[in-house]
């Protein structure tokens, strides 16, 4: 297992990372995450949640650099197209929810994942299921053909107990390096980890690296469950069965070797209603996650303009209706304007209501 050591923010103690520039370790008081940032200047806000203040602090970090990296496949041009599609369809879209601005603010964000290699030697037990069909016949009556016998096929599974030995090697089994790993993947989507490359220090230039919150020992239980699932599937195939249940394994997991992999994302942001809203983008697939808020200010302004227009139209209609006692055509025009004024007045609140309803439907807590 690779060595983990407490470091401070000096690059001398991170010399083995061969970093192209100085980097600083900071911790966020809001989300509690620690990051490795380019440069020596401490930013005002966390590079992930963009909410809380950050401060320098020592942290636990492997002396060895990450061994592998999944490269970015989304260019800034492609990101602009992705963000254009993502932000489309939002009524009263905030001015800052703009693809060009979002791309200009975006920075690369690296998320750590553990890969483990191991050799499994042990004994397994399970019930293996084999598909088969049962043929029966049912008599049916119809007015046209009378009684007819129809063949009915029913799919069934025959379960048989199996026991055997397993001796297999499993390489590059993914395991979380972060406590919120699955929450992040729910937002960013899946990654093709087979597309990984060897780590080069230059790839971190200008990027932000999330520091793992789970060391290999803490990540092992989930990695072991993934390995056992793979072993169960291979045992099913070796048994020639179609299904497997109750799989248990008593095994030794030998020659454990851990590799730290970095997967790519972009973080950008926009401001609305006095808050900063982070937007995450999968650096490999382009999947976007973030709140697409409507601008309450724009909606309220539109509602106010419609209200003023309704009042003006109604008053003008009233004046013309009064003049109708002198000039009868004015009464007809005034009556029409009165109706139009009422209709505009009834629709005036809707922009504000639609924006409020749209923003209320968004679960904002998961983005902050």
Rg (the chain; Cα; Å): 32
For residue range 40-74, what is the model confidence (pLDDT) as tens digits?
778 888 999 888 788 887 666 666 778 999 999 99
Q: What is the mean pLDDT of residues 100-113?
A: 95
CB 310 within 8 A of CB 341: yes
Say what the pTM is.
0.82
**Beta-bridge partners for 155:** 133
For residue range 237-294, what is the model confidence (pLDDT) as tens digits?
999 999 999 999 999 999 999 999 999 999 999 998 788 899 999 999 999 999 999 8
| Predicted confidence (pLDDT) at residue 155 exceeds the cutoff of 60 | yes
CB atoms within 10 A of CB 162: 18
Q: What is the mean pLDDT of residues 172-184?
A: 94
Averaged pLDDT of the chain = 86
Alpha-helical segments (H) within the chain: 76-87, 99-105, 181-188, 216-239, 296-323, 328-347, 350-361
pLDDT of residue 2: 46
Instruction: Classify residue 272 as left (phi > 0), alpha (psi -120 to 50) or beta.
Output: beta
| Predicted confidence (pLDDT) at residue 206 exceeds the cutoff of 90 | no
Nearest to 97 by CA among 282, 265, 264, 278: 278
Looking at 62-66, 102-106, 141-145, 190-194, which range is the least confident one?
Answer: 141-145
What is the number of helices (H) and of strands (E) in the chain?
Answer: 7, 13
Place of tokens 């106010």: 304
Q: At 250, list the tokens.
A: 């008593």
| Predicted confidence (pLDDT) at residue 211 exceeds the cutoff of 60 | yes
Q: How many residues does the chain have?
A: 368
Q: For residues 238 and 124, what is the distance between their CA atoms, to the nearest angstrom? A: 12
**Which strand (E) or helix (H) includes residue 126?**
strand 107-142
Nearest to 284 by CA among 101, 87, 88, 109: 109
């Amino acid at each position: 297992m690779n060595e983990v050591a407490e470091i401070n923010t000096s690059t001398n103690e991170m010399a083995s990372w061969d970093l192209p520039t100085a980097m600083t370790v900071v911790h966020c008081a809001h989300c509690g995450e620690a990051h490795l940032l380019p440069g020596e200047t401490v930013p005002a806000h966390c590079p992930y949640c963009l909410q809380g203040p950050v401060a320098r602090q020592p942290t636990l970090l492997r002396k060895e650099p990450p061994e592998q990296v999944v490269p970015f496949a989304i260019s800034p041009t492609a990101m602009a197209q992705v963000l254009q599609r993502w932000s489309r369809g939002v009524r009263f879209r905030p001015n800052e929810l703009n693809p060009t601005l979002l791309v200009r603010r975006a920075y690369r964000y690296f998320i750590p994942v553990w890969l483990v290699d191991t050799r499994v030697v042990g004994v397994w037990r399970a019930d293996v299921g084999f598909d088969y069909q049962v043929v029966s016949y049912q008599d049916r009556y119809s007015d046209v053909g009378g009684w007819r016998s129809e063949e009915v096929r029913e799919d069934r599974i025959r379960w048989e107990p199996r026991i055997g030995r397993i001796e297999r090697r499993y390489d590059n089994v993914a395991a979380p390096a972060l406590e919120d790993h699955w929450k992040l993947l729910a937002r960013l989507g899946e990654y093709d980890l087979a597309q990984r490359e060897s780590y080069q220090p230059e790839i971190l230039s200008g990027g932000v690296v999330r520091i793992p919150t789970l060391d290999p020992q803490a990540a092992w239980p989930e990695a072991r469950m993934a390995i056992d699932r793979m072993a169960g599937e291979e045992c099913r195939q070796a048994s020639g069965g179609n299904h497997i249940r109750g799989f248990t394994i008593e095994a030794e997991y030998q020659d454990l070797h851990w590799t730290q992999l970095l997967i790519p994302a972009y973080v950008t942001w926009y401001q609305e209603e006095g808050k900063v809203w982070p937007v995450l983008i999968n650096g490999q697939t382009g999947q976007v996650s973030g709140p697409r808020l409507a601008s309450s200010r724009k909606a309220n302004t539109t509602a106010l303009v419609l209200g003023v227009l309704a009042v003006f139209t109604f008053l003008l209609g009233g004046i013309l209706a009064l003049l109708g006692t002198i000039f009868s055509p004015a009464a007809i025009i005034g009556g029409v304007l009165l109706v139009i004024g009422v209709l505009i007045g009834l629709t005036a609140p809707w922009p504000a209501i639609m924006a409020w309803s749209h923003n209320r439907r968004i679960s904002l807590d998961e983005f902050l």
